[in-house]
Amino acid sequence: MLIFPFSGARYAGAFRHCVLIFLGQELANWPEISSKFSDWSKSNVVLPRTLLVASRAHAQSLWKAVKDKTATGHTDILAKGKLTIAGFDCSGRIVEAGEDDTGDGLDLTSCFACATEEFMRQASQRGDVVVAAPPGFFFAKQSERYASHFLRAESLLSGTSEIELLSMAILPKFSSFCEQEQSSPTVRIFIDSMAIWPVAQMLTQLHCTTATGVRRYSIESFHGYEGLAEWEPLPDAAFVLISASTSGGLETKVRTKLGLSKKVPVVTLIGLQSDGQVDECIADESQSTCLFRVPRQLVGEPTLDGLRADFQPDVKSLPAGAESVRVIGERFLSHNNRPKVVRMAHKSLAQKDKRTLAELADAHIVLAGRRKAVGSKWWSLSLNIPALIARYAAPGADGSCKLREWICNYAAPGPTVIIYPEDLGSGERHNERLAKRIDELLKERAPGTDTRVVDHMKLENPDEDLRAFLGNAAAIVASPIVSDGFVFKQISAMLRIVQRSGPRLYIALAVLPESDARLKELASDIGSNSADSAYRFKHGFTLPVGRIDKAVKWDKETALLDEFIESCESENVDVPPRLLERIEAMRAPNGLSDELAFMPSAGGEPQPLSAGFLLWEVDHPQEGSNFGAGVLLTVATFLEASRRARSGDPETSLRSGVFQQTLIEPGTFTRFNDGAIQSALLRAAYPSELDYAADRAASRDMARLIAKFIELHKSPAGSAAPEFILALRLKKLTLHRDDLPQIEHACSSLAGWLAVLARPLSP
């Protein structure tokens, strides 16, 4: 859901001062819309008219709910001014919802175009969309010229709502193109970068929502200027999306390749004003469209506080003393800003975290690669929830209980509703179990306490009994484990609708956020309170683990291992039973235990850990082959601590600047030389931190180490060789192309299942 102000004066005077609520395909109900609008209005001036845009069917249902007086919460929006509800169809036409659903209502497509333009205008004032080179630097263009700024359209795509908004702006032109090419069984869409693939995919999805007939939609990237030389499309009709352009030169080259210019509409998401052009969105209704053109006189963050106020797109030669910066994906490289190779140091991890991590590993509570109950995704790190509940919710040997302590000290007296996230899937109901344990402790503290235990979906449409109970009840929201706490934020928003005030206690036994910043954001979001009632957040422990769910590509690993097993079966090659067990466990919802967290060694054994692991604070040595998941959690926490530069030492900080990439020093894999630690480093690190192709010297060192590990695959020193091979095959770890022959030579000596796994790396 997007909410932002815009002016629709070019469409009609009545929409001069307007706020857009864009739902896209989201089926949000009135209470949810009202809650988001109320939150937005606290920090923004509410204009006299509101335009709500949703899919046509949903817009009609929202309109009918208002008309039938069955809607709840919409009055908060109506109280601010006039509300117009409109729906879009598969053609991109936006029409006001009304009594009849014939699509003959007021056409608001042009008004929505004004809103899209305002969205782009606001985005162009951000430093991540229009990126400025530092003073004294210029971006080197592929045309052998230079520019003061760089347009980065992928920064516009920060979420599903933004992607839908941009796709809706393009949809009328795309629908018109599809209508003209009805005889073609395949609609071809060409994009200049996979970064805008979500827009192309959403475009086809929106167009196919109610469209009749069966057509194939083909999306293909020609990889910008670099890929044009090898791109050989058939000269025929096609729809082209270009992420960003300052001169239109790329469009000209694409049209030359496709030949039929009259059948090739081209849409550029963000461009640059030509000389002398007025500051407004230009839309050539024939074949070329640019959603928004950035003015050459910049405002906002791209100006670098006035140091770079002019967008110079075509500098023929560098000014005296200036240097060039080359664009490589999302990074910028120059000879003064080569990748920084970082030496990892255990001091980056706080002592209290070392103690907590050691205790969790010793108790074997940590799980890796736990498949989610819904969908085909994984939690890279999770916990054994029954063991976690036993640790914090049951009395210990000394009779103490952390959950009882929280309830006694922080739970408000009197009637209490206990809310837990709905347990998904057909597994055990751990969330409900924790909520019932809290109920027991409340009644143990004060017998006769009136309580209700409900899952959070009951708040969406509470019955009369629950609604009345919520009127004077305190609330406890509990979940055994949360990451960035989206479900707590969702429950908080629901509570603000059905229970305007009252004390609230949020309880999580474990919190594994992406970063400290995300943890603070969660605490702020659920703790914000304009009333006098206390809002508190209690947790057993917090361990920021970075973006590990994105760092570990479980889906790609599963697909690769399935192909590997098929190859072994067809060639009658024996596969270690532990590896087969691991593959089956990856498909199950219970997660990977310590022994299955990583690929086994060449001999089929779990990855070992020797005594003296510096990232654990222990009273007695911990060693063996059953600590894999605990080591993965430890290393993920360690790397995130290094990224936020907790130690203050720049030499051991993984923090990346915009103009400099950071790499994990290859020597890290020799200092942390146990198979379990090496495997955890390969999985918990970000791909950019293992992209040694950008530094020739680091790539040579890393290639030499990997080759040696592969040669020693039968000994403990090379136990992690399968993980290194897997990382290379998944492109998690990247070497310079000149160093690949060294790996190929090392792999040529392998035999058995490991040889099959490494075959794509062999000559």
Please report the domains of the chain, with CATH numbers, ordered by start residue.
Answer: 2-124 (no CATH), 130-333 (3.40.50), 365-548 (3.40.50.2020), 553-758 (no CATH)
DSSP H helices in 499-599: 516-527, 548-551, 554-570, 577-587
Angle in degrees, 0-180, between the axes of helices 385-393 and 402-410, rounded to the nearest 10: 60
Contacts of 154 (CB under 8 A, 6+ apart): 193, 195, 196, 243, 330
d(CA 440, CA 407): 10
- Using a 10 angstrom Cβ sphere, with 0-12 exposed, 13-18 middle and 19 or more buried, the burial of residue 134 is middle
Say if residues 581 and 588 touch (Cβ distance below 8 Å): no
| Intervals of the chain under pLDDT 50 | 277-285, 329-336
Helix (H) or strand (E) holding 122: helix 109-123
Tokens representing 314?
């075509």
Helix (H) or strand (E) holding 331: strand 331-333
641, β-bridge pairs = none
Tokens representing 476?
């406890």
Contacts of 234 (CB under 8 A, 6+ apart): none
Residue 214 has a pLDDT of 63
Residue 332 has a pLDDT of 44
Residue 618 has a pLDDT of 84
Nearest alpha-carbon partner for 382 in 511, 515, 486: 511
**Which CA distances in Å does 143 have to 22, 314, 316, 577?**
39, 9, 10, 56
315, β-bridge pairs = 146
Residue 46 has a pLDDT of 78
Say if residues 138 and 318 touch (Cβ distance below 8 Å): yes
Residue 336 has a pLDDT of 44
d(CA 115, CA 151): 21
d(CA 134, CA 307): 9
The order of strands in the sheet holding 82-88 is 2-6, 18-24, 49-55, 82-88, 94-96
How crowded is residue 531: how many other Cβ atoms within 10 Å of its Cβ? 10
